[in-house]
Amino acid sequence: MIRLFFLALALVSLGGCTGLGTLRQASKPNDLYLLTPKSTFSSSIPRVQKQIVVQEPTATAAVNTDQIAIQPTPLQVQYLPRARWVDRAPLIVQALLVESYENSGKVAAVGRSTVGLRADYVIVPDLREFQGLVISDVEGSKTIRVEVRMNIKIIDEFEDKIIASSSFREFVVSESDKTPDLVRAFDEALGKTMRDAVEWSVRRINTHAANNQRSY
């Protein structure tokens, strides 16, 4: 009986330790990752004396999250364990687009749609792709290709109409499947996408404003 008692006690203690270990593992904090705005642009971009507002990008549920999305197949979405963006991806992209327009030095003022800025033009992004895709080559080895695709519409706020629309897409192959390398690939792909979007939109706004001189 004593032996049975100690055996039962040992099993209870082992179960308690297992439960405690699981709890500690579950409570382990996630690593949070930032992305950076674009700061280098073509010197040929014209300067526009207009105020721009950037709306929060629309996105599917798979992208509209703070989790870092990876597709093991084109029809499946998973997320990196214990790793998160510092905010939902669309909010990050909105903030970085605002900073990128500011860094270009080519617009009179720029802000997010929530700050109440009186806009001449509104940038309406749609974040179509923001994930890593697992790619297999002919030899069976696998790499992860980060894909960022963003559609941009420019709205003339005075006339309340779309004056231009275009899509921007970049692919960057990650150096490895380790999270820091994947985040660097995301940062590079998003940076190139934002650079192209900012340069294109500033040029289109400049052309439209020149063809539609008006006073407010």
pLDDT at 27: 56
pLDDT at 123: 97
pLDDT at 115: 62
CB 178 within 8 A of CB 22: no
Three-state SS at 145: strand
Q: Would you write out the chain's pLDDT as a tens digit for each of its 216 residues?
A: 434 333 343 444 444 444 444 445 555 778 999 999 999 999 999 999 999 999 999 999 999 999 999 999 999 999 999 999 999 999 999 999 999 999 999 999 999 876 666 899 999 999 999 999 999 876 778 899 999 999 999 999 999 999 999 999 999 999 999 999 999 999 999 999 999 999 999 999 999 999 987 544
Domains of the chain, CATH where assigned = 2-211 (3.40.50.10610)
Distance CA 194, CA 97 (A): 7
pLDDT at 20: 44
Distance CA 76, CA 74 (A): 6
- From residue 69, alpha-carbon distances to 1, 85, 200 in Å are 55, 10, 28
pTM check: above 0.75: yes
- From residue 105, alpha-carbon distances to 25, 74, 205 in Å are 47, 39, 15
